Structure 1
Amino acid sequence: MPQATRPTQLSPSRALDFQQCPLLYRFRAVDRLPEPPSKAQVQGTLVHSVLERLYEVEAGRRTPEEALALIEPEWAKLQAGEDVSELFSGLDDESSWLRGVRRLVETYFSMEDPTRLEPHRTECLVTTTLDDGTQLKGFIDRADVNGDGLVRLVDYKTGRRPPERYSEKPIFQMKFYALVWWRTRGTIPKLLRLMYLGDGRFLDYSPTQDELEGFEKGLKALWATMREAIATGQFRPQQSKLCGWCAHQKLCPEFGGEPPNYPLPTVLPGLEMPPT
């Protein structure tokens, strides 16, 4: 069982966890309870690895054939580092799943030509500390910078593009990256691009300085709320349609369960919180 930790940084995924359900955030970020990987999650990891490796070869060799040839070795590496044997019922099931991975990689080439791109960075770690001490951390799939210094941040998604009414979460993630990029490099990205390989569609967004300043204020307020929950151990469950995909229903009061004892020292609400 992983050892519990006191979170000191905010990432887009953990911020979205807390907004969805504070108790889910606690289970993932504080208790660090294990969650079995899903086929979709492993598929996303594999496709991301293939596309990252693709940009490590010279531009002229970034062909569909080269990318497809990377799938097997990257899959072998992933299997060596993570137990995914229970995901598949047999060789036919795994073969069918790998055909799906190949289709996603092929779709990528229908969306852009990697031989004409020279990314500034791939799988780029970005971190910053805001003026109130809030620490932000994230990984950007790809950062492109053109000759005029204009920045495009790109994120690959292996699902289908969501309807507009459900685009808030992916745009939140990209605004997070844009804010950290701006605060560390002094340049506001011109374009935030999500590439949905499930249907070959894009979701583009161009942030403004006013938007990012407002977003920054919101993150500061969110982290203050999260810090108080971490200090007091009070994480309320929040039921939604997403509960059906939660790995921790048996521990959730909304489903008749009981969370484990809070693993960190606590203080009473309103008192000075432990340092982060």
Structure 2
Amino acid sequence: MTTTAPNQAKRPSLEGSSWDGNVLVIDDPEALRKIRRREISPSSASNIRKCEASFAAESLLPKPNDPFQPRLIGTGAHEAMEHLFQLPPSERTTEFLHEDIQQIGGRIWSTEQLTDPARRRLLLPDAEDAFIASQEITDELAEANIRASERWRGIVEPWSLGIFRMTGQPHPRDVEVYGTELAVGGFDYEAKKPNEVTLSLRGLRGDFPVQGKIDRTDWVTLDDGKRGLSVRDFKFSGSRPRKPRSDGDDYAEQQRIYTLFFKALHPDLPVVDAALLYPGWDHVRNIDISDEALHGTLRMFEKAWIDMNRAVDTHKFSTKPSNLCGWCPLANACPVARMSTEKAAAEAATKSPGTALGITVTRETPKVTAWAQNGDYSRMPRLLLADVPAPQTTHRQKGSDNAPASGQNQEETPETMSTPIAAAPTPVAPLFKFPADNYGPMAAFGIVDAATEHLAEHGQQLAASSISALARVLADIAFQVTRSLYGAAAWNHGAVGRVAFAVKSAIGIRPAPFGQDAAAWEHWKRIVIGLTTAKTKAAQSLLDNPEADATAALGFLAAA
């Protein structure tokens, strides 16, 4: 059996792009137009924050047509949830959901898709290239398509039906739905026109346009009797939900962004709750939507918008190596890609090599030893300290958010430059693993030094327990301030190191209340957080407006 001419496979290409050290440079105006978003979504903000170069590549390269990808499986299950909760309560049944998933699967696995070379290769991975490029639909291909569709339904249906068995959650027919699939900004591809609802959020540096789709909002009554709306989102994870990563919580940020959307669109309606529902795992995760948390998320969201436009304007997209590098389309092209696990390396093996993407290298990339790249001292070779690359050459370019501040580079003396590292047994359980950029250890040691000096200055005992306790409090202050202003915090983020330095000077001005009760310590902590926040905002203002006229500031000081 034959059909109309097949879609031609597009060769992944970033022709004209180049690496300048560890920065991806893209000069093609059409490519830059595709990368720049007219409105920013939670997923785009997350991808920009993780790695600008990866975000740019994913904006330009074709998306794989594999319905078994977690994202696409989740899309099918989301569609079923949308249809279920748009029904009158009495019609929300398992029978309806079963039939609806059959219809969704029939569309996704229709024979019309069998002319797509990517789909043909997915179904018959060992077939000859000539057959994949052809328009022939054989019995073998059709049978493989039926088996794949049955496998897809076997994944999506149990996940979706879990909504009827969630512990502590009302039966779907008892849910008081306010709305489903509220589209903000973006484009309605079925109607072939932009969505009617548009929105700009007010950030610290002005308004910026946003987009996204809120899965569901329900009327709820909390345990304290408070009644209002709950912003809800479905997650269909292939593995049991894990504890959020320390360097960012994308799902929580997404829910807070949607809460900001709803509050801006409906200021008269109270939003009292936000939650993530995992029907396949009978799990509900409540999200913090306090004013402090929402402010931090708004700051992160705005920063992603600014960073995207800055990268497009300068044609330069920075890299941020992580354990997720194996899933990036640049995995085999990026000069600083990190393959820290066998799973990441196996995933990277499926990606196109740099030559196929058309990226050139215009400058010799920084050389990073295996132990520095992986942060694993157990594999550290014997070498001279002079051979270890300087911190600023391993990750970010000078001038970026994570570049070391002036005076913070590790000092090298003639003694250390000429003394080889002595052979030592492999540590059994190192306290931590130094990342290649060294920002984390620098910030952590800075906090501990500040705690030790403060204890000594005020006549306190320099016991390990005292140093550790005060350091922990100072670290918590630094993280709270960083999250409130920049949306996220982790030891390997340069912002934490800068804020930690501000904390050190703040406690010099406002000493700790040694010898006083817990209430005095809590009061002191709030004062230091406020002072550090004010100092950090002032520093950010100087960075944002380096050429600002000081006349108004002089007038303010004169009148104070």
TM-score (norm 1): 0.82
Match of 1:49 among 55, 75, 79: 79
Is the alpha carbon distance of 1:93 and 1:153 closer, same or farther for their aligned partners in structure 2, counting shifts above 3 Å? same
- Counterpart amino acid of residue 155 in structure 2: G
The offset of 1:59, in angstroms, is 1.4
**3-state secondary structure, aligned to 2:285:** strand
Is the alpha carbon distance of 1:49 and 1:87 closer, same or farther for their aligned partners in structure 2, counting shifts above 3 Å? farther
Is the alpha carbon distance of 1:108 and 1:204 closer, same or farther for their aligned partners in structure 2, counting shifts above 3 Å? same
The total of aligned residue pairs comes to: 262
- Counterpart amino acid of residue 147 in structure 2: D
Is the alpha carbon distance of 1:245 and 1:188 closer, same or farther for their aligned partners in structure 2, counting shifts above 3 Å? farther
Tell me how far apart the structure 1 counterparts of residues 120 and 219 of structure 2 sit (CA, whole Å): 40
Tell me how far apart the structure 2 counterparts of residues 63 and 86 of structure 1 sit (CA, whole Å): 37
**More contact order relative to length (CA 8 Å, sep ≥ 6):** 1
Provide, for residues 126-148 of structure 1, a one-character-per-residue CA deviation record: whole Å limited to 9, x for no partner. 34212312111111111113598
Contact 2:178–2:219 (8 Å) recurs in 1: yes
- Counterpart amino acid of residue 201 in structure 2: L
Match of 2:103 among 56, 73, 96: 73
Match of 2:260 among 158, 179, 191: 179
Gaps of 5+ in 1: 262-268, 271-276
1:226 maps onto 2:300 in alignment: no
Is the alpha carbon distance of 1:57 and 1:34 closer, same or farther for their aligned partners in structure 2, counting shifts above 3 Å? same
The offset of 1:88, in angstroms, is 4.2
Is the alpha carbon distance of 1:144 and 1:86 closer, same or farther for their aligned partners in structure 2, counting shifts above 3 Å? farther
Tell me how far apart the structure 2 counterparts of residues 206 and 157 of structure 1 sit (CA, whole Å): 17
- Counterpart amino acid of residue 218 in structure 2: D
Match of 2:174 among 97, 108, 116: 116
Contact 2:80–2:100 (8 Å) recurs in 1: yes
Tell me how far apart the structure 2 counterparts of residues 188 and 24 of structure 1 sit (CA, whole Å): 38
Q: 1:59 is matched with which residue? A: 89
Contact 1:189–1:206 (8 Å) recurs in 2: no
Q: 2:243 is matched with which residue? A: 163
**3-state secondary structure, aligned to 1:249:** coil
Contact 1:161–1:203 (8 Å) recurs in 2: no
Is the alpha carbon distance of 1:236 and 1:134 closer, same or farther for their aligned partners in structure 2, counting shifts above 3 Å? same
Contact 2:159–2:279 (8 Å) recurs in 1: yes
- Counterpart amino acid of residue 101 in structure 2: I
Tell me how far apart the structure 1 counterparts of residues 314 and 241 of structure 2 sit (CA, whole Å): 38
Q: 1:266 is matched with which residue? A: none
Is the alpha carbon distance of 1:254 and 1:190 closer, same or farther for their aligned partners in structure 2, counting shifts above 3 Å? same
Tell me how far apart the structure 2 counterparts of residues 139 and 247 of structure 1 sit (CA, whole Å): 26
Q: How does 1:94-105 map to 2 (within 5 A)?
A: 94-105=149-160
**3-state secondary structure, aligned to 1:130:** strand
- Counterpart amino acid of residue 260 in structure 2: L
Gaps of 5+ in 2: 1-9, 13-29, 125-143, 185-197, 338-352, 360-399, 401-542, 544-560
Tell me how far apart the structure 2 counterparts of residues 93 and 144 of structure 1 sit (CA, whole Å): 35
TM-score (norm 2): 0.43
Is the alpha carbon distance of 1:210 and 1:41 closer, same or farther for their aligned partners in structure 2, counting shifts above 3 Å? closer
Match of 2:200 among 129, 146, 151: 129
**3-state secondary structure, aligned to 1:141:** strand
Q: 2:230 is matched with which residue? A: 152
Tell me how far apart the structure 2 counterparts of residues 85 and 63 of structure 1 sit (CA, whole Å): 35
Contact 2:109–2:149 (8 Å) recurs in 1: no
Provide, for residues 61-81 of structure 1, a one-character-per-residue CA deviation record: whole Å limited to 9, x for no partner. 211121011111112233469
